[in-house]
Structure 1
Amino acid sequence: MGTSQSHPGPGGKSSLVPPWADDQPQQPLPTPQSLRFKPFRQAFGNFVSTGNPSALKSALGHYARKSTGGRTTAARRLGNTVKAGAALYHTLTGGGSIADGDVAIDVGSLAGMPSEAAINSITQALTPSGGDSDKIRSAMNCALAEALDGVAIFDPNAITDDMIINTMIVYVSESIFLQVVQDAGQAWIKADTPSQAIAAENSLRELIKVEVDIHMAPMFSGNARSLTKSQIARIQRDVINAVWSEWEKYQ
């Protein structure tokens, strides 16, 4: 069934932000609401079984307001994703190491490799160990594969500004998508057939990508290559906040 799963997902008593994911641990967290995933999963199961866009929006409204504790908390839950995204950006722009012990890879050393092998080398180097590593690796692979679609041999000198921006849009979109998929848990079993589940995944992925694109593309405003670590991290957080702000309006 594509990316969907039968794992129950996190429980209602779990922390809104696991300590290993939080990139702003000095800030207090709100107390999770009781049964915070129930309305989200019920509405999401309805969406999976019917394909109704209204059910999807209702699910995401519950998810943003209650399940994840709101926009600011959501950005912190994706703290590891944001950090890895900064490393990906600086790798593509030739920024090299971005300090604080972060791993970087010289894309120049990958010149002449098959693009698939170059993508694997980049994701292997930049994916952190521990929590969220599988989601980060998957999101990076998806973003780089889309950016290099149709390119047989990797050439770092052929990486354009548009490719960098699109890579970051797809990376953040896919990271949000994978987090929603994980948190939906067994709501996916409402699909009667594998094709029904895949159709639901595609609808969710497209909705997220459109919203991320709307908010993220203008943030580069002609400055696709010279952003600092803190600037590209801030852009990612601001985009996550903006997406959650939109979802919080859904009823």
Structure 2
Amino acid sequence: MGTSQSSGGPGGGVPMVPSWTPDPPAGGSPESESGGGKAPDEPAAPAPEAPPRAPVPAPLAPPARFLGARRALGDYARSGDSRELRRGLGHYVRTGYGGSATATRRFGGTATTAGALGGALASVAAGQPAAPGSPLDPVLLAGRTAQEVMDAVVEVVRPVDGTQDAEAERASIRDALSELLTRFPDADLLNLDPDQRAFAIERFTAIDVFRRFELDLGKTIIEKAPSAATALARLREARDFIKQSVAASFRKLRGAGRTLTSGRIGQVVGDALKETFEIFEGYAE
């Protein structure tokens, strides 16, 4: 789970959303995803150009931003009480990241990368020709192992850029594709069906949320747990809880007609993140 990369988390006085973090894609409505009820051949009216908006400065983190989260997670690490885990997640979002809205902005890279992942998997499944020299060129991937295909997907979707976010997202992509192959043993990574691609996108999102949480606060759980084995068990429980929470948010959006359709993946993922962080923030009540 990468516990060796856990740290004390970012401190106070720094922007809660780093300058390199992309804004989450704007959310859409069920009508906009289905064409707004227009007949298939009816041309869409051109959308008016929106005036450019000045970027909203990210709020600065307060001193001891993770203090409440550390206290709750320390109790969780010692006792295994799931209520303390939920309370820790609540303080993590509410104070650590200034609430669900700012937390969603902080995970803008997750939504953007999820969209790129979905696009790459859909393109290769549709047999669309890759750019010359692309790691996803079917000719280059012929006869390659699943691990080599995963590596190619990672290089296309999230190239190295020197940020911690990039390294975390690259690892999250690999983990998501590994879980996909566990869930669908006969899946072909170069020809995934829509349900398999949706699973990969949802699982990437959940794993990336956990990975950031672990980088910020995993050290607290490791240090406060009574043993190394217990610490790993607590982190697995936290990972499972976050995965279940993110999955529930995606299910809620699907029930409202928000599906991971091509071109809107980043928007749906951003909305799922917002839904998840709103739930987490409520745990701090």
* 2:121 counterpart of 1:121: no
Q: Does 1:246 align with 2:279?
A: yes
Residue 223 of structure 1 and its aligned partner are, at CA, apart by 5.3
> Given the superposition, is the C-alpha separation of residues 118 and 192 from structure 1 closer, same or farther in structure 2, using an over 3 Å criterion?
same
Alignment of 1:128-207 (within 5 A): 128=159, 129-131=161-163, 132-149=165-182, 151=185, 154=188, 156-157=190-191, 159-184=192-217, 186-187=219-220, 188-207=222-241
Residue among 30, 47, 65 paired with 2:59:
30
Residues 113, 158 of structure 2: 8 Å contact kept: yes
Matches of 2:55 and 2:249 in 1, distance apart?
27
State the Cα RMSD in Å: 2.6
Q: Does 1:12 align with 2:41?
A: no
Alignment of 1:62-101 (within 5 A): 62-94=91-123
Kindly indicate whether the alpha-carbon contact (under 8 Å) linking 2:258 and 2:268 is maintained by their aligned counterparts in 1: no
Q: Does 1:56 align with 2:85?
A: yes
Q: Following the alignment from structure 1 to structure 2, what is the Cα–Cα distance between the partners of residues 77 and 111?
A: 38
- Flag structure 1 segments of 5+ consecutive residues without an equivalent: 97-103
Q: Tell me, which stretches of 5 or more residues in structure 2 are unaligned? A: 25-53, 127-133
Of all paired residues, the percent bearing the same amino acid is 26
Equivalent position of 1:208 in the other structure: 242
* 2:3 match: secondary structure: coil
Amino acid at match of 2:65: R
State the alpha-carbon separation in 1 of the partners of residues 248 and 187 from structure 2. Answer: 31
**Structure 1 residue 107 displacement after superposition:** 6.3
Is residue 2:74 matched to residue 1:45? Answer: yes
Tell whether 2:263 aligns with 1:234: no
Q: Distance in 1 between matches of 2:178 and 2:137?
A: 15
SS at match of 2:171: helix
Match of 1:101 in 2: none
Judge conservation of contact 2:11–2:63 (CA < 8 Å) in 1: no
Instruction: Provide the rounded CA distance (Å) in 2 between the counterparts of 1:82 and 1:63.
Output: 19
SS in structure 2 of the partner of residue 26 of structure 1: coil
Shift of 1:164: 0.7
Distance 2:7 2:189 in 1: 40
Q: Distance in 2 between matches of 1:70 and 1:107?
A: 42
Structure 1 residue 40: deviation in Å?
A: 0.7
DSSP-derived class of the 2:65 partner: coil
Q: Structure 2: how far apart are the matches of 1:165 and 1:217?
A: 11
- CA contact 1:142–1:174 (8 Å) conserved in 2: yes
Cα separation, 2, equivalents of 1:18 and 1:113: 37
1:201-225 Cα shifts (integer Å, max 9, x gaps)? 111111111111112145455955x
Q: Deviation at 1:61?
A: 0.9
Secondary structure in structure 2 of the residue aligned to 1:196: helix
Equivalence for 2:33: none
CA distance in 2, matches of 1:107, 1:73: 38
